[in-house]
Chains A and B, each alone.
Chain A
Amino acid sequence: MQKAYSNKKIIFTLIAPGLLMFVFAILAPICLSVYYGFTDFSGLGAYQFIGFNNYKELFGDRNFWMSLRNSLLLAIGFICIQHPLAIITAALLDRMGKRAEGFFRTVYFLPNVISVAVIAYMWKFIYNPNFGLLNKMASALGFSGKTNWLGSGMAIWSVLIVLIWHGFGWGMLIYYTGIKNIDPVLYEAAAIDGADNKQTFLKITFPLMMPVIKINVTLAIISALKQMETVYLLTNGGPGNETQFLANYLYKQAFSSFRYGYGNSISVIFVIVCILATQVLNKIFPKEE
């Protein structure tokens, strides 16, 4: 039996297809990025090696730091707004009857199955300052209804709202499942001890949810770093570069500014930042068990 389990040929055939895909579609392009990151390639014609010049420029590039800042803001937004709302909703939902649970769960998750392309364009219309849904609602409620939602200073928050809205159902669902997995005996015991809803939530639900929360916080930060599609369609980083994100910025540099080499150096740093962030988070939230 030992022999069957260490048959090199079989192992190779099992591993090869997946590994090949991975090397071809992820590893090779990253190596190529490293290569182009050291050049002044414009995307066309000849190019030269310029050493670390792209990287030097990148660290002095305001838009690069702006992108990182925006990722951080987004992550904070997820953690401080989306997740608390999701946890509370999940806890409330847990107390509803079976049918209501199913209904609300379905409704909350619905935006997640709709393509980002649709979501982003739809929100562009919702935010339109002159005839969009939000300002129409605001004026119906007696406000001026002249808010420039995607304007300077507001734009990053408006982007955040869309992302929170879109991802709310997903977060809620995960917390909901986490809560469902909590042993009901604990609640019964708490009820016998005369604990009220608030106490039960704070003393039992919340602490037992910690592992799930940690995982979700990690995921939130990673997805904040990786943000691209929504921003690309909603603001394309504007006004100015106020809502710029790394992925969008590298695309813009490579394809709008004709700076393919520079764009690739951003790619490289982007990968490094993502890996670093994950490592740091793993340190902060060590795996239990």
Chain B
Amino acid sequence: MKARKLLSVSMAAAAALLTMSATAMAEEEPVTIKVFSNNPDRTADQGLVEQTIFDAYMEEHPNVTIEVEALDDEAYKTKFKAYAAGSEMPDLVSVWGQPGFIDEVIDAGVLAELNPEDFADYGFLEGSLDGFSGDGKLYGLARNTDVIVVYYNAKMFEDNGWEVPATYEEFLTLADTINEAGFIPVAMDGGDKWPLYIYLYDLMNKKDGTDLMQKTLDAIASGDYSDLAFIEAADMLREAAERGVFQIGFETTDYGTAQNLFTNGQAAMYYMGSWDMSMATNMDIPDEIRENIRCFNLPVNGENADPLALTAWNGGGYSVTENSANKEAALDLLKYMFLPENWTRIAWENGVCMSAQDFSQFATGNETEVQKQLMDMVAEATAISGTSIGDLGTSEYKTVCEDTVQQLAIGSITTEEFWAGLSALAGK
């Protein structure tokens, strides 16, 4: 609720600014822009940021109506493909700047090409738009910088005398200690499967992060996964699961449940992306937990290990569709959304997420602790992993990778079988 209030104040200021510029364009033909979004909750987190911007835009352009259809990720992707196969695509859509999602969509000519020069002074971080490009052309804009971290409950740590681990060994030992104390060490969203391959990729990245993305792309193309970093990381994932680092039944735990285990004090840690920093401003979470949410970068030691390497990528974003009846209007809305004082500022000031643009200019010093930690992590990072393994192949590759990484984690297949299964998809 507080987040909402904060937001409305900042929006009121923005709206006041906007109405001044708006008067010029009244009396235009009514336009309805259909938006298809993967943020079903319009009253919190990114959905709120989206909706706030849309509302402001409609205020400014009285002739424009924005209709939002929103579904959560899995349902969204399914429906997106159905739309893409059909003829009535919405005008502005959520996309993921990852080959597993966007390549086939770009190939099919579903997305409209954007002019990179339009966005030259938008402050997009270097490389953040690479995933949204194909053949040197730009097809979408990234909305976030996503970093995978381990959130932890600082109060629980302090009360029990637990320390933030500095090495992977310490992390595992800590998990044992937490288990003994009767808590869940790490809440893991294994039901959605992708957090598991992110964990795998996180380990790969930190064990030997040099040019990991290229190395992975090569492996996907050739089917050769013999690189030691790959093999070891898979073993480590299996070991962690076997040792009880994650909760019982992590493979069937969905996103909301994993988060709930953490925010209701059942789990001491929670493995999730930086967008969940919004937990720290979510008033539905009990005070003593919300105020004590902190995070650390999963530590991995070893010969080539890099403690400051981050597993981070620019996942979600937006595109205008090629066959949109209101292409110009949708494009205008997209440009408006990504004005730094819109998406980037609103998202940051409300503790929702880090945008893919330069968000540090909006630092106020009033950020939540976890926000500050994340900002520092990004500032200090020596290497950034980029898109992770499951999202680097085709969508078939993604499906297989998801299913088998889950099987690997629960031990129903071996490391060898896991890599062999992915090898079999080479060249497909």
> A152 and B412: CB pair below 8 A?
yes
Chain A interface, number of residues (Cβ within 8 angstroms): 29
The verdict on A238 contacting B252 (CB below 8 Å), with A44-B104, A45-B107 known, is yes
Q: Counting CB contacts under 8 A, is B394 at the interface? A: yes
Minimum CB–CB distance for A128 against chain B, Å: 7
Stretch at the interface among B232-240, B304-312, B383-391, B396-404: B396-404
B85 close to A129 (CB less than 8 A): no
- The residues in A between 187 and 244 inclusive whose CB is less than 8 angstroms from any CB of B are 235, 238-242
Contacts A44-B107, A148-B249; is A240 near B77 (CB within 8 Å)?
no
In the bound assembly, the distance between CA atoms of A131 and B260 in angstroms comes to 11
Bitwise interface map of A from 235 to 267 toward B, beta carbon under 8 Å scored 1, else 0: 100111110000000001001111110000000
Q: Report if A255-B407 is in contact (Cβ < 8 Å); known contacts: A130-B184, A152-B251.
A: no
In the bound complex, what is the Cα–Cα distance between A41 and B227 (angstroms)? 34
In the complex, whether A146 has a CB less than 8 A from a CB of chain B is: yes
The answer to whether A128 and B257 touch (CB under 8 A), given A238-B251, A255-B82, is yes
User: How far apart are the CA atoms of A42 and B396 in the complex, in Å?
Assistant: 10
B26 in the interface, Cβ–Cβ < 8 Å?
A: no
Residue of A nearest to B257 (CB): A128
In the complex, the chain B residue whose C-beta lies closest to that of A43 is B85
Is the CB–CB distance between B266 and A151 below 8 Å?
Answer: no
* Contact status of A151 and B395, CB under 8 A, knowing A240-B406, A240-B407: no
Closest partner residue, chain A, to B101 (CB atom):
A258
For A158, the closest partner residue in chain B by CB is B252
Q: Which of B232-263 contact A (CB under 8 A)?
A: 247-249, 251-253, 257, 261
Give the complex CA separation of A42 and B81 in angstroms: 10
Chain A residues close to B by CB (< 8 Å) = 42-45, 127-131, 146, 148-152, 155, 235, 238-242, 252, 255-260
A selection of 21 A-B contacts at a CB cut-off of 8 Å is A44-B81, A45-B107, A128-B257, A129-B248, A129-B249, A148-B248, A148-B249, A151-B249, A152-B407, A152-B411, A152-B412, A238-B251, A238-B403, A239-B406, A240-B403, A240-B410, A240-B412, A252-B399, A256-B399, A257-B395, A260-B85
**9 tightest CB-CB pairs across the interface, nearest first?**
A44-B108, A129-B249, A45-B108, A150-B252, A258-B395, A240-B407, A148-B249, A255-B78, A257-B399
